[in-house]
């Protein structure tokens, strides 16, 4: 628990089925786009480990997290109310490369949209945003003002193009690509970008310490095993061995 501090929740609301937006009160060193925090919204030892959640957005005195209920930890977090306290550790990990010039494509799948809002706000270049969802679409209104074009797909065709987001993406149009979402989607994006355009991916992995000490989050790369929490979560697409 070393390094963790208790902060106050300003709001925690369901914005789509099982998708929550949590705002916490926090000032000071807040982090750069692509970084994450470890969150523990419960007392006691079950669940034992805190959960990693990306920075979704930051203002002068608030951090926004966007998360999906996947299991016990995120389920407990969803039950928290304004004025409840939560323990956090962060900001952790590296961030996205933000200084690239030219046209940028950002591609997200599902809750992979979470780290992209703060990322978009921090980029000066023109951005096309490609976002894929299973069925329900969320957070698009928050994003519209930061991008030139927005392409939406749903697997059931209820909004936008019916199918996967990689069906709409044309790598040749871009000078840099960033992506976050399910591994099969990111793998496909990396394959599509190969020898055409640099791509950066935000990797997911189960985490324990979040600070590089336990090696529990290691993934295979062309440089050997790398820790998602310390060497990532953002990696060059070329270096990750899927």
**52 lies in the site for ligand FAD, by CB under 6 A:** yes
* Torsion of Cα atoms, 115 then 121 then 127 then 128, to 10°: 50
- CA distances 210 to 121, 142, 195, 207, 216, Å, are 26, 29, 33, 6, 9
| For ligand FAD, the closer CB: 57 or 174 | 57
- Per-residue x/- marks for ligand FAD, 142-171, CB under 6 A? ------------------------------
**225 lies in the site for ligand FES, by CB under 6 A:** no
Task: Output the smallest distance, CB 75 to ligand FES, in A.
Answer: 21
* Matching residue, tokens 């023109």: 126
Stretch of residues binding ligand FAD (CB under 6 A), selected from 72-80, 82-90, 133-141, 188-196: 72-80
**47 lies in the site for ligand FES, by CB under 6 A:** no
**214 lies in the site for ligand FES, by CB under 6 A:** yes
* Given 24, 106, 107, 111, the residue binding ligand FAD (CB under 6 A): 111
* Given 12, 54, 64, 119, the residue binding ligand FAD (CB under 6 A): 54
Q: Which long-range contacts (CB under 8 A, 24 or more apart) does 9-15 make?
A: 9/80, 9/81, 9/82, 9/83, 9/84, 9/85, 9/86, 10/62, 10/82, 11/82, 12/77, 12/78, 12/80, 12/81, 12/82, 12/84, 14/78, 15/66, 15/138, 15/139
Mention every residue, 6+ apart, whose C-beta is less than 8 A from residue 44.
none
Stretch of residues binding ligand FAD (CB under 6 A), selected from 51-59, 83-91, 156-164, 188-196: 51-59
Task: Output the smallest distance, CB 211 to ligand FES, in A.
Answer: 7
Sites of contact with ligand FAD (CB under 6 A):
36, 47, 51-54, 66-68, 70-75, 111, 114, 204-207, 228, 233
């Amino acid at each position: 628990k070393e390094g963790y501090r208790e902060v106050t929740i300003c709001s925690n609301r369901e914005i789509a089925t099982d998708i929550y937006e949590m705002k916490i009160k926090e000032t000071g060193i807040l982090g750069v786009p692509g970084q994450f925090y470890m969150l523990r919204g419960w007392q006691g030892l079950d669940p034992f480990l805190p959960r990693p959640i990306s920075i979704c957005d930051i203002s002068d005195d608030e951090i926004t997290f966007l998360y999906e209920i996947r299991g016990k930890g995120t389920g407990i977090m969803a039950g928290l109310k304004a004025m409840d306290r939560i323990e956090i550790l962060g900001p952790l990990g590296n961030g996205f490369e933000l200084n690239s010039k030219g046209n940028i494509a950002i591609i997200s799948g599902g809750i992979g949209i979470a780290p992209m809002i703060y990322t978009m706000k921090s980029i000066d270049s023109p951005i096309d945003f490609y976002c894929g969802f299973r069925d329900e679409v969320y957070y698009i209104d928050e994003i519209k003002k930061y991008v030139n074009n927005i392409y939406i797909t749903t697997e059931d065709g209820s909004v936008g193009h019916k199918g996967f987001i990689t069906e709409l993406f044309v790598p040749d149009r871009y000078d840099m690509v960033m992506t976050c979402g399910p591994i099969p989607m990111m793998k496909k994006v990396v394959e599509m970008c190969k020898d055409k355009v640099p791509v950066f991916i935000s990797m997911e992995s189960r985490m324990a310490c979040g600070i590089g000490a336990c090696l529990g989050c290691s993934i295979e790369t062309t440089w050997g095993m790398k820790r998602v929490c310390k060497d990532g979560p953002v990696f060059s697409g070329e270096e990750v061995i899927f």
